[in-house]
Amino acid sequence: MEELYRYVSGLIKDVKLLGLGTGRTVKGLIDYLHREGLLGGKEITVSSIDTELYLKSLGYRVGDLDFRPQVYVDGFDLFLEEKGSLIKGGGGAMTREKIVAFNSDYRVYIGDQSKVRGDRIITLPVEVLGFSLWQFLSFMKSKGFEARVRQGQGKMGPVVSDNGNPIVDVEVERDRVEELVKLLDSVPGVVEHGYFGEELIDEVAVFKEGLVKVVKPGK
């Protein structure tokens, strides 16, 4: 993955206002940028408490979203290359990730080839207000979608987002994902979902066999 991190370092080298996402890939990027001394002198905002704590442990200050990042870098769970879209939310941070992405000038998503798959069934994470949780599950079932509350590992109870809301994983056939997204956008109580369309993506950089492949959806 170092070639991928090196590619990103070229994109952000002269950037003063930087946004960073969530997850293991982003942590690997942070480690690389820290080691190369490329984070100093930048104002940084992040999309999760986990990333904030990690950066602070390395001695960096992290600000709120009170500036517009010139570049936002994040990982992804699945790249639907034929649709030019991404599935995110494995870490339950998709709401804040979308907020930072929407408010950034240039959005870059990074991952390895294992995240570019032809899965017929896709799991789409959805953040739901606790007040509407059981009604939401019932509604999804009535529409023919299997939905389950994500359970924590190593702790009792459901996984909750940094916003304090439960995460529901909804299974959907690949060719019905846009149908599900349109439905979710109309349901009161749905805070956000993990479908990132091309309007939130400027490029996707994928590491495969020592090379970095860059895709710019819709361009």
Q: Write out the CATH class of domain 2-117+196-215.
A: alpha beta
**Does residue 171 come out as left (phi exceeding 0), alpha (psi in the -120 to 50 range) or beta?**
beta
Model confidence, pTM:
0.93
**Residue 154 scores a pLDDT above 70:** no
- As a dihedral over the C-alpha atoms of residue 75, residue 98, residue 34, residue 106, rounded to 10 degrees, the angle is 90
Which of the residues are catalytic?
97
- How confident is the model at residue 156, as a pLDDT? 63
Q: What tens digit of pLDDT does each residue of 185-211 get?
A: 999 999 999 999 999 999 999 998 889
- How confident is the model at residue 102, as a pLDDT? 97
- How confident is the model at residue 158, as a pLDDT? 84
- How confident is the model at residue 210, as a pLDDT? 86
| Phi, psi (deg, nearest 5) at residue 181 | -60, -45
Q: Write out the CATH class of domain 121-193.
A: alpha beta
CB contact at 8 A, 204 and 217:
yes
- How confident is the model at residue 177, as a pLDDT? 96
The segment(s) of the chain belonging to CATH 3.30.70.260 are: 121-193
Q: What tens digit of pLDDT does each residue of 42-58 get?
A: 999 999 999 999 999 99
Q: Where are the beta strands (DSSP E) in 40-138?
A: 43-46, 71-75, 78-80, 85-87, 107-112, 121-128
Q: What is the mean pLDDT of residues 173-181?
A: 95
% the chain with pLDDT above 70:
98
pLDDT band of residue 4 (cuts 50, 70, 90) is very high
How far is CA 174 from its chain centroid? 19
Q: At what angle do helices 2-12 and 24-35 cross, to 10 degrees?
A: 70
Q: What is the mean pLDDT of residues 120-125?
A: 96
- How confident is the model at residue 155, as a pLDDT? 63
- How confident is the model at residue 64, as a pLDDT? 87
Q: What tens digit of pLDDT does each residue of 11-42 get?
A: 999 999 999 999 999 999 999 999 999 999 99
- As a dihedral over the C-alpha atoms of residue 206, residue 211, residue 104, residue 166, rounded to 10 degrees, the angle is 30
Q: What tens digit of pLDDT does each residue of 55-110 get?
A: 999 999 998 888 999 999 999 999 999 999 999 998 899 999 999 999 999 999 99
pLDDT band of residue 157 (cuts 50, 70, 90) is confident
Q: DSSP string covering 182-216, please?
A: HHHTTSTTEEEESEE-GGG-SEEEEEETTEEEEE-
Instruction: Tell me the pairing of strands 43-46 and 17-20.
Output: parallel
